[in-house]
Amino acid sequence: MSSQDAALDLAGKATFVFQGTVLKVKAANLPEVKDVDNTVVVKVTGVLQSPAMFQKSEGKEITVRLGPGQSVKAKQNAVFYTNGWIMGQKGFAVQSVGIQPAAALSRSLQTSRTPTQRLADQTLTNRLATADSVVSGRVTSISEPGALETTAKVMGATSPIPPGRISEHDPKWRDAVIEVQETHKGDPTIKKVVIRFPSSDDVRWHKAPKFSPGQQGTFILHKAVPPGEPQVGHTVSLKEAGSPEAYTALHPEDFQPVQKHDEIKAMVSNLAPARKK
């Protein structure tokens, strides 16, 4: 794997990517970090990919916990691919998923887009890479679960809420039928799909896409709920062949408006073969 490919792979696993200079090894600048055997203090010299809360970190000194097999030296300048670890009273610490020499910096992280825009781009790329199907189309109808005949289980887990008991986090599941106009990833012969989605605006579900009849755009679909996302808690029953396929689309990036059609199409075509399912 080339250094550029390795950089892209690491960027896909990290939320906070920055260039920095190692100030101290076996050290930490947060009192919450007690074990410093695998931690270093790094001064951030440039933020490359970041959530909004870390975007203004340039010039700050942060604690980085190194991953297995990783090592750096004092005064070393490198690119750190990390995820959040500890939010302390006097700053934050991150967990490294990879470190590269500054010279290996991916061209995709050297664009004019802001660090938060790059993180959004990377998140969308990850959703496309792991999707079972990506289609553009139109919502033709909405119904309650069980009213539609479909050909795939959306999720095998049973609901954590006993039948008849109402929870304040009740997702209020609905099934949306999508008339497929173009397939970007998946079976090009499928003309209809079903998306099971939570219609509730409860805090647990408010970021999940909500669908309504007539809505048009691109749908990034999964047959099973990816790790770390809320469990569907229901299954779509198996029916005879010819019924529409069933999926979920629970991440905010799983629905894209019509205006992003060409961009999504290009992103799918540019996915590295190794990252496709």
Q: What is the pLDDT of residues 126-149, one digit of tens each?
A: 899 989 999 999 999 999 876 666
What's the confidence (pLDDT) of residue 62? Answer: 96
- At residue 203, what are phi and psi to the nearest 5 degrees? -55, -30
Q: Say how many CA atoms lie within 13 Å of 24 toward its Cβ.
A: 11
Its CATH class, for the domain covering 131-275, is mainly beta
pLDDT confidence bin for 224, thresholds 50/70/90: low
pTM (2 d.p.): 0.61
Percent of the chain with pLDDT over 90: 50
Name the 3-class secondary structure at 257.
strand
* Structure-token pair, residue 178: 């999508």
Domain borders along the chain are 3-113, 131-275
Distance CA 69, CA 82 (A): 15
Class of 3-113 in CATH:
mainly beta
45-93 pLDDT tens trace:
999 999 988 989 999 999 999 999 999 999 999 999 999 999 988 889 9
CATH topology agreement for domains 3-113 and 131-275: yes
Helix (H) or strand (E) holding 268: helix 261-269
